[in-house]
Structure 1
């Protein structure tokens, strides 16, 4: 299964480079605009470029835990071909897709444990966004909750200085009873973002929380209301509202973490001053 394959630090092909840990596609060194689903599909195809990826595999990797129509897959493949060229992804009739661009200069793939140890050694702040809880029996609310979580992931990926875990990894904990500290340990992250979507008669309330993974302590919480009949249209606005309030709190939490480190750790001290400057700019 695609989700069980160790990720490479970098996959290069032609003018392009995939950076899985950063969830970025670079074209000629410039970050490309790419949605979360399209990125996960590209990563799945590139990692398994030595073979055909079936449609079921691709759907499972890009939409874990969801039942979606195949046309969603076609839409994402089309978006990737517009970025990479029409011949970058071959359609294998009746089977699936194959990534056709030749990769070069690939860094040897580490296993999960060595990736976590490397992150710990560099003291990089890591964060994962968990699936939002759905407080409604309406399936449309469920789709909205997943869309919001994905938008938050996509927006957090643009925040410099933080290493974001892909939604394919964090969404694997959907419906599990594991505690937050245990989830954080398994994902190897310092911070968790979780949330919920609750439906009332004419209103949807979206709640989001930032949790310190080591202690399980709530670092920030916020709620956002939207008319129920326009929530889907306002999904991106709601996600941006969450990020607008979440990002400075995340930065402040990281400052507090760094303050607890020894000042002799010059790298940590430098990151501290960078974070202070970021908060000053954000107000």
Structure 2
């Protein structure tokens, strides 16, 4: 037996028996997922060692008290975010207790007073909370920026003496010790929006429920968008059935934008009107109306909610961009820097990408804990990597993965984090992992055009291009001002589905094509037997990529079906790609000989 000083973390799942009785298989599956994705990696990252597990709990040893608390904070923070859209009665939540003292180690187990106290302290922790002993609190007071609440001395079961306990509070800035006080200060000035209760204009009491339900659904859907700060229902419903002064409401609730609308029943139809108002400038930003047949009022509610939730963020972002044009970058807050970086990223040029990198770096400098900015730094660097706009591709790729790891640790309920993780895993040909992150992104934000279009891309790689076309077209409907690359995704999906005319039409929407897009168009014409058009596009491929070769090109694609890979190989051969590569190789040989 060995004895040494160590920190012991005891964790226990609240309501385990109740959850197992209600849904044994589902509870075990969710608990296993939390272990694999969150808890075990957090322990490993903070140099902990799992000593013992039970069905609903575990004992973990740490050599550092600060590592133990940092691990506990990360687990509880991220579990809180994971549970944000889970019904209360199905949530998996933990209590955590931490103690430091002499521990006896014997046969990969631990014993002693220090272990017993940790287990008893855990029982007094709040659900989703952390409770620590005075010895732990003393050591972390000057090392971690956490709130510590004195609970006084408590009698613990089977412990003869009272033990002084503290509750650890935490927020989004406490995953690691801050280098200075400014590091913990959040500066992401997201646009704040309030959705006022929709007015029932029909006089039909049944429509009152519809109007309130519609308002609540819109609130819920908008709250999924991490780029918006949405005022809660409790605040907005204070103004139900009251005359509203836009400026006064906005000032009182601290909102920049207001959404208001009305519901009117006309015969067997229902009409919903909605408008977005910039309260600061007292200007109408956007308005629309939805006229539907009153067959299924709940289906209408879902349809209108989806349409509004899909459209509003884009209109808010457009309004923000207009303001951004009048703002000097040096004065931007983190959110505004991130927004400007995204706009530049979508332009897809070398110079715009460089500016986007500078702005997203500034956003993270202003707010190191801004998960959305870390995700977009990965996306912007990924664009540079894909297009070879960087001198050291290995270093940039490592940074992409590092940024995503940081973003996921800060907020694993951000759809962009999972969207970009899905894209990275597609690039690594790890499509099973990509599917997990893509489905997670869709569940977090089903009306986000970048997530929806990526679903179409993924389905195309998986050999389901007809479904991919549907998803890509849906993304185009969600965002009529979508980036030009959506047409490229659509063209590739149509080609994979052997729909060559539709593929060519999609690619023709691009004002300029790169060598990859020209290659797909050449393959389309090759499959159609149009040698002249195929040859013309292969010449463009040669001009843009003199070293183009069929096999290296195919290696950049991510088809899971060999038949799809063979399909584009045959299309390129019919287009004369083999001849062009031979000519290029001959020229290279002549240059070397000369």
TM-score by length of 2: 0.30
TM-superposed deviation, 1:82: 1.6
Aligned to 1:272: 339
- Pick from 224, 232, 240: which aligns with 1:174? 240
Aligned to 2:311: 245
Question: Which blocks of at least 5 consecutive residues in structure 2 are unaligned?
Answer: 1-71, 94-125, 131-167, 172-184, 348-449, 451-478, 483-594
Structure-1 separation of matches of 2:344 and 2:82: 25
- Pick from 201, 208, 214: which aligns with 1:148? 214
Structure-2 separation of matches of 1:122 and 1:186: 21
Structure-2 separation of matches of 1:102 and 1:31: 10
Task: Give CA deviations for 1:222-274 in whole Å, capped at 9, x if unaligned.
Answer: 11112123122331121001122222111101112222323321436523324
> Is the contact between residue 144 and residue 235 of structure 1 (CA under 8 Å) also seen in structure 2?
yes
> Is the contact between residue 129 and residue 193 of structure 1 (CA under 8 Å) also seen in structure 2?
yes
Q: Would you tell me which structure has more strand in proportion to its own residues?
A: 1
Structure-1 separation of matches of 2:303 and 2:344: 27
Aligned to 2:82: 30
Structure-1 separation of matches of 2:201 and 2:89: 38
> Is the contact between residue 258 and residue 277 of structure 2 (CA under 8 Å) also seen in structure 1?
yes
Aligned to 2:127: 101
Q: Would you tell me which structure has more helix in proportion to its own residues?
A: 2
Query: Which structure carries more relative contact order (alpha carbon 8 Å, separation 6+)?
Result: 1
Q: Which has the larger radius of gyration?
A: 2
> Is the contact between residue 272 and residue 289 of structure 2 (CA under 8 Å) also seen in structure 1?
yes
SS in 1 for 2:330: coil
SS in 1 for 2:259: strand
Structure-1 separation of matches of 2:332 and 2:73: 36
Structure-2 separation of matches of 1:279 and 1:252: 14
Structure-2 separation of matches of 1:245 and 1:141: 24
Aligned to 2:589: none
TM-score by length of 1: 0.61
Task: Give CA deviations for 1:203-223 in whole Å, capped at 9, x if unaligned.
Answer: 101111110011221100011
Q: How many residues align?
A: 199
Q: Check 1:13–1:145 CA distance in 2 against 1; reply closer, same or farther (3 A cut).
A: farther
Structure-1 separation of matches of 2:302 and 2:169: 35
Structure-2 separation of matches of 1:130 and 1:27: 31
Task: Give CA deviations for 1:76-106 in whole Å, capped at 9, x if unaligned.
Answer: xxx4122247xxxxxxxxxxxxxx7264433
Aligned to 1:20: none
Question: Which blocks of at least 5 consecutive residues in structure 1 are unaligned?
Answer: 1-11, 18-25, 35-78, 86-99, 109-117
> Is the contact between residue 248 and residue 279 of structure 1 (CA under 8 Å) also seen in structure 2?
no
Aligned to 1:208: 274
TM-align CA RMSD: 3.3
Q: Check 1:279–1:80 CA distance in 2 against 1; reply closer, same or farther (3 A cut).
A: farther
> Is the contact between residue 127 and residue 192 of structure 1 (CA under 8 Å) also seen in structure 2?
yes
Q: Check 1:279–1:147 CA distance in 2 against 1; reply closer, same or farther (3 A cut).
A: farther
SS in 2 for 1:250: helix
Q: Check 1:278–1:183 CA distance in 2 against 1; reply closer, same or farther (3 A cut).
A: farther
> Is the contact between residue 130 and residue 173 of structure 1 (CA under 8 Å) also seen in structure 2?
yes
Structure-1 separation of matches of 2:189 and 2:226: 15
Task: Give CA deviations for 1:20-57 in whole Å, capped at 9, x if unaligned.
Answer: xxxxxx527536434xxxxxxxxxxxxxxxxxxxxxxx
